[in-house]
Structure 1
Amino acid sequence: MSELFRMWGNTRMVVLTAICAALYAAILIPFKVVPLIPGITEFRPANAIPVVCSFLFGPAAAWGAAFGNLIGDFFGGLGPGDLFGFLANLLYGLVPYALWEAVTDVPPVPRGPLVSAGLLAVIALAATLCATVVGWGLHLLGFHPFTVLGTVVLVNNLVVAVVLAPFLLAVLYPRVQRARLLYRDLLGPRLPPPRWRIALGTALVVVGTVAAFAAGELIAGGRWVAPWAAYATASRRLEVGLGLLPLLGLAVGGLALL
């Protein structure tokens, strides 16, 4: 995760960040006229871009997704919820490459059922964490309930990324690899972390992400109250806000270990 900050010393990674942000924003902006929740989110065929670019360009894609989403939001009207959108898209572009690199050295190209299943699992996890952060943040701010927004963002992310990302990776990854523009070509190899860190980090990311999304649905729907957030507000803002915070912390902590 330190590469998120170290990459700013590499000119080509900075350029790739700008390219990822521009590409993401360029596809997001025209679809602002197809809202799913007016003023909050819209149909987003661009949601495959952070995933594909993550496998290609690593941390540059994470920052590119965050800034690209912010640029897209500017054309739909900026607000306090965009801070959570920035963070959610940063994680959306971070999870795929960080998790994949931690558990395997196989190229992220769908060649066989095992690799394809692994790709889909990583994409689903990234989409879930992104949706959870957006749903959590905007419920906390009192805009829309997690049960609506979290679910809509998850489906929006998941459908587009699962359909498009494997195909785009099969086409683009070999070409970017031959051009020596993969993030590992630019940043250099890294020392693999100890196995216990990989195992613990992966477990925390998976458990934290799944638990946070499930808790958001249950708490916002009034079906569960987290023991550490046993409040009783009409909108359940505090219950969702404090209830999901430690679970999201587990996921982010797991990414830091990887």
Structure 2
Amino acid sequence: MKEVFKMWKSTKMVVLVALCAGLYAALLIPFKAIVLIPGITEVRPASALPIVFGLLFGPAGAWGSAIGNLIGDFFGSLGVGSIFGFFGNFMFAYVPYKIWQNLGIVDKEDAEPNLKSGRKVVAFIVAALGGALSCALVIGWGLELLGMVPFAALGAIISMNNLVPSIILGIPLLLVLYPRIKKWDLLWTDIMPEEDLPQTGGRARIGSIIMVLGIGFGMIGGFVVALGAGQEAFSFASSVAEGMSVVLVAGIGVVATFIGSFMQ
């Protein structure tokens, strides 16, 4: 995860953060009127952008997605939940490029996100799923913790609201953008010094596996408990509110996701 912090030394990467944030906010704001949950979320075709930003611009795409979402919140949904929205949208772009790099779906010899093979299209879909669910997990857990929106409802809406545009719009968008970004030498792996790039190999792969398992456990476990299964096992007696069972289970997933992220 060192590249997330070391990228701020690069002027080009900082400019890419600003560009990603501006584009994301510009596409989010016009759809703020098409509300799904008042004050929380809305129809978001802009959700196609974070995975593309992440694969092309790496940590700059992650920071840009987080900041862009926060800017968008100023136009109708700003609140304490925006804190979790910031981190959720960061993970929306961060998780995909880590999955792409470390899970072995893509050949190391041809790891650039050009979608020139069926294997890379599959990797894109897996990466999009991971990004969409990680965003839903962080935001759903946070707003359940605050008592604002039930985890199951918000998690399901955010997951679908993120995943569908990521796949349907993200694939053609990446196909169009990649050749130009490559030609202009703006891929993050071409911009950042080699010593600042994240290490790949055993530790990074284990981190990615822990991250993916954390996302899966948090989402599936949170839904299962929210729907009533296992309440007795996770409530630790009647003194603990039912909602806290969901917070606990989803929270374990959030913690595992971030531990896995820091290992990469």
TM-score by length of 1: 0.93
| 1:15 alignment partner in structure 2 | 15
| 2:178 alignment partner in structure 1 | 173
Q: 1:215 aligns with which of 213, 217, 221?
A: 221
Q: Give the conservation status (yes or no) of the 8 Å contact 2:29–2:75.
A: yes
| 1:107 alignment partner in structure 2 | 112
- Report the AA paired with residue 11 of structure 2: T
Deviations 1:33-69 (A, max 9, x none): 0011111100000001111111111101111111100
- Report the AA paired with residue 16 of structure 1: L
CA distance in 2, matches of 1:27, 1:250: 32
CA distance in 2, matches of 1:117, 1:195: 21
Going from structure 1 to structure 2, the CA distance change for 1:88 and 1:17 (only over 3 Å counts) comes to same
CA distance in 2, matches of 1:110, 1:149: 31
3-state SS, counterpart of residue 215 of structure 1: helix
Q: CA shift at 1:254, angstroms?
A: 1.4
3-state SS, counterpart of residue 7 of structure 2: helix
Q: CA shift at 1:20, angstroms?
A: 0.4
- Report the AA paired with residue 262 of structure 2: A
2:199 equivalent to 1:193: yes
Q: CA shift at 1:98, angstroms?
A: 2.0
Q: CA shift at 1:198, angstroms?
A: 3.0
Q: CA shift at 1:112, angstroms?
A: 2.4
Name which of structure 1's ranges 200-209 and 24-33 shifts more when overlaid on structure 2.
200-209
| 2:212 alignment partner in structure 1 | 206
Going from structure 1 to structure 2, the CA distance change for 1:57 and 1:257 (only over 3 Å counts) comes to same
Going from structure 1 to structure 2, the CA distance change for 1:108 and 1:230 (only over 3 Å counts) comes to farther
Runs of 4+ in 1 over 4 A off after TM superposition: 226-229, 231-235
Name which of structure 1's ranges 8-17 and 242-251 shifts more when overlaid on structure 2.
242-251
CA distance in 1, matches of 2:25, 2:239: 37
Q: What residue ranges of structure 2 are gaps of 5+ in the alignment?
A: none
Q: Give the conservation status (yes or no) of the 8 Å contact 1:92–1:129.
A: yes
Q: Give the conservation status (yes or no) of the 8 Å contact 1:109–1:116.
A: no
| 1:158 alignment partner in structure 2 | 163
Q: Cα RMSD (Å) of the superposition?
A: 1.9
3-state SS, counterpart of residue 39 of structure 1: coil
| 1:141 alignment partner in structure 2 | 146
| 1:119 alignment partner in structure 2 | 124
